[in-house]
């Protein structure tokens, strides 16, 4: 039995869910998200909650049961609160600015890095050393944050680079005589 899958996903006020076949459409104040479940699970909306049940007792059905419930819960969280990743930039001369829908990063290269922000994602740079990525799709927010971080990962000696706000960089000791 899936302990995660057993709990129905409750819908807060202002959020509606409709099930058609294996597709769940969730509408909320921040937008609309859809999730298409596999044929291994049944979906139902009852008493302002979405419940997921497995169609059989196979291993795949039980795996899809918990995963589908979690994906639906993430959709509900996305349309109510949204998801957010915060990045910090460390290093002399390293900075970020927004120019329309393009994030301009000065990361010590001979040129500035221009990062086009995809649709559905909001990127802000409140300070030159801080980047905030927000959106209703958790996977897309994480992917955009990872792509930005990829341009200059933090190095272990001085900690220069782009890191997540809550990330700990393991520091190494430099050369000694």
The pLDDT tens digits of the residues spanning 78-121 come to: 999 999 999 999 999 999 999 999 999 999 999 999 999 999 99
Q: Domain 3-80 adopts which CATH fold?
A: Outer Surface Protein A; domain 3 (3.90.930)
Under CATH, to which class is 83-164 assigned?
Answer: alpha beta
- pTM of the predicted model over 0.75: yes
Query: Would you say residue 57 has pLDDT above 90?
Result: no
pLDDT value at residue 176 = 84
Quick one: CA dihedral 113, 119, 125, 129, positive or negative? negative
Can you say how many angstroms the Cα of residue 139 is from the centroid of all Cα atoms in its chain? 4
Q: Both ends of the chain: CA-CA distance in Å? A: 60
Query: Would you say residue 2 has pLDDT above 70?
Result: no
Helix (H) or strand (E) holding 50: strand 49-54
Work out the percent of the chain whose per-residue pLDDT is above 70. Answer: 99
Q: 154 Cβ partners below 8 Å, 6+ apart? A: 90, 160, 161, 162, 163, 167, 169
pLDDT value at residue 1 = 61
pLDDT digits (tens, 9 = 90+) for 129-169: 999 999 999 999 999 999 999 999 999 999 899 999 999 99
Domains 3-80 and 83-164 share a fold: yes
* Joined tokens for residue 22: 């294996």
Query: Would you say residue 51 has pLDDT above 80?
Result: yes
Residue 90 gets the label, from left (phi > 0), alpha (psi -120 to 50) or beta, of beta
Residue ranges covered by each domain of the chain: 3-80, 83-164
């Amino acid at each position: 039995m899936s302990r995660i899958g057993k709990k129905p996903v409750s819908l807060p006020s202002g959020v509606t869910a409709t099930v058609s076949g294996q597709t769940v459409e969730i509408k909320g104040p921040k937008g609309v998200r859809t999730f298409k479940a596999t044929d291994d699970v049944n979906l139902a909306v009852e008493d302002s909650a979405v419940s997921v049940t497995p169609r059989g007792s196979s291993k795949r059905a039980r795996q899809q049961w918990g995963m589908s419930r979690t994906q639906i819960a993430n959709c509900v969280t996305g349309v109510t609160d949204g998801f957010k990743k915060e990045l910090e930039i460390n290093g002399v001369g390293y900075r970020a600015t927004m120019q329309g829908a393009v994030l301009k990063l000065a990361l010590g290269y001979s040129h500035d890095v221009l990062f086009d922000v995809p649709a559905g994602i909001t990127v802000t740079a409140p300070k030159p050393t801080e980047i905030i990525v927000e959106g209703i799709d958790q996977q897309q927010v994480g992917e955009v944050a990872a792509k930005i971080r990829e341009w200059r990962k933090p190095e272990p000696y001085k900690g220069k680079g782009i890191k997540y706000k809550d990330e700990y960089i393991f520091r190494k000791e430099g050369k000694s005589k």
